[in-house]
Structure 1
């Protein structure tokens, strides 16, 4: 992200909003626009293009994003929004926390809301907030095969907004310069990233062939890199690959994006970093079992493709390796 782009303000709804520093003040103050997209991480990536279209349409208005608390620091770097409000998504019986959020939203006087979440929770927010002149809600049932980014494009077009980016997320603003990190680890300019893990609660998304794939790729002369998350350190260290970590144990999203953006190819499970690689335009391949629809996730973008099989445990390494070698850009 260019250094001269002001970072959005982050507002915690249960705390007084801190005054904006001089560098954060923005001419866009008239009639703020609210965009709701809680997360998870892959969902926010899918929304990146829609946020850019909204920024271009509302050039003179302040765009405020309501996101889940774990993602507010991440989205504070997004150049398409001016402010991020943290939604703790507290259980409905925790009235104090929910009323604090609703008070924050009501006080802002939003006259236009773009509900990219389209959930029961956001429907409740609509009933409890003063009715804005325009509340546009994403229509894309969870059992449809349509990626959310296409639903966003349709929603914005219906609102008379010029759609140029909704179907092509490009979160390059997320990527730090990883050249120093890679050089310090002795990683050459051409390397393949493997993403063997997933959140601990989603072990069914993990293809067990990553260790063998790393060995086979190394035998073919390819440098292999693994960038584990907090649930994957032990798994990553079992692979014959260069494991990139930070002093605290794992790279943050910005360093991870920097590593992925420089990769020659990425192979990963259905997990956040794999979706990030796809959105960054890196060539790659995602491996899916029967847990969801590849089409629904929207991971097929640009040079990124996916393989889906009934049972990931039965997917042969030879099949994946052949597909990687067929798609790998020539050096």
Structure 2
């Protein structure tokens, strides 16, 4: 082994094992914290585990209401990645969010038995820490054969989450967001156009994306045909749109501030990604460009009015990936629902 390789190996090991040690330390601290809280409150502790992604957390929101009904007097704690805490902290059905360091921390903490009931809304692929290099299994999901290769065979995301946690799908399956006055004030300060369409053009998975050149062609046509401004939201943009009514808000807003922008839009046009779940939750009519995904030739991740089609058009061709959907297919689907005569 060369000196360089030796140093790289031991640097990796140092980071890995110091990370694991920190995870165990944080788990023990959390055990003491929740043990103390349990004694002080004299309530049962209920854990809900759905740490990512933010669209999945929105999709799972109806289960928070069901869990509250099942445990009206318990202290409900939702395990979540720190970047998504605002979705949980604003939910009145949850008493506390727990910002998870990694799955090892969670595993050690839950194994202490400090929680009286645990609802695991994740399965193996979401229960991995790349630094620790470990997976945590969900026995219920394993027993039912639900994994990253099969999950959409069991229904939409809410239905899957219910199945892997031994819950039933709530009768009211419409996801909700709990927007606050601070989100409205923030968006008020943006001085948005009176009429606009929101677009989301870049997801966190290349398989779900639609080519940038087609977005570049679609956006000016929408602006001209319908006489509205176009506002792009998301973490980042890969577009090069040159049109006076196009506005780029990417990277400038929090998740719930983005939701407030979507709520004010006439329509949402986007990919199968987190913002589409926000649009569903705030009740904005959506056009979702949806291709096949790995083993799933056709799937629908949404519950509520996006599932029923009442408030959404899924633009897709069975077995065709998103990247292959022509511009005309998207334009025709939009114009079929919103005739150009609706302009103005």
TM-score exceeds 0.5: yes
Question: Which entry has the higher C-alpha Rg, 1 or 2?
Answer: 2
Change (3 A) 1:311 1:35: closer
Q: Distance in 2 between matches of 1:107 and 1:219?
A: 61
Root-mean-square deviation (CA, aligned residues, Å) is 3.9
The aligned runs of 1:1-331 (5 Å cut-off) are: 13=26, 16=29, 29-89=42-102, 98=104, 100-106=105-111, 109-119=114-124, 121=127, 139=144, 140-142=146-148, 143=150, 144-145=152-153, 146-153=155-162, 163-165=170-172, 167-173=173-179, 177-178=183-184, 181=187, 184-188=190-194, 190-199=195-204, 202=206, 205-208=209-212, 209-232=214-237, 235=239, 241-245=245-249, 249-292=251-294, 293=296, 294-298=298-302, 300-301=306-307, 302-309=310-317, 310-328=320-338
Q: Distance in 2 between matches of 1:215 and 1:102?
A: 50
Q: Which runs of 5+ in 1 are unaligned?
A: 1-11, 91-97, 128-134
CA displacement at 1:286 relative to structure 2: 0.8
Does the 8 Å contact 1:196/1:206 carry over to 2?
yes
Give the length in aligned residue pairs. Answer: 293
Q: Distance in 1 between matches of 2:208 and 2:68?
A: 38
Q: Distance in 2 between matches of 1:198 and 1:162?
A: 27
Structure 2 length as normaliser, TM-score? 0.70
Q: Which has the higher helix share?
A: 2
The secondary structure found in structure 2 opposite 1:235 is: coil
Q: Distance in 1 between matches of 2:257 and 2:108?
A: 36
Structure 1 length as normaliser, TM-score? 0.72
Change (3 A) 1:111 1:83: same
Q: Which runs of 5+ in 2 are unaligned?
A: 1-24, 129-133
Does the 8 Å contact 2:49/2:120 carry over to 1?
yes
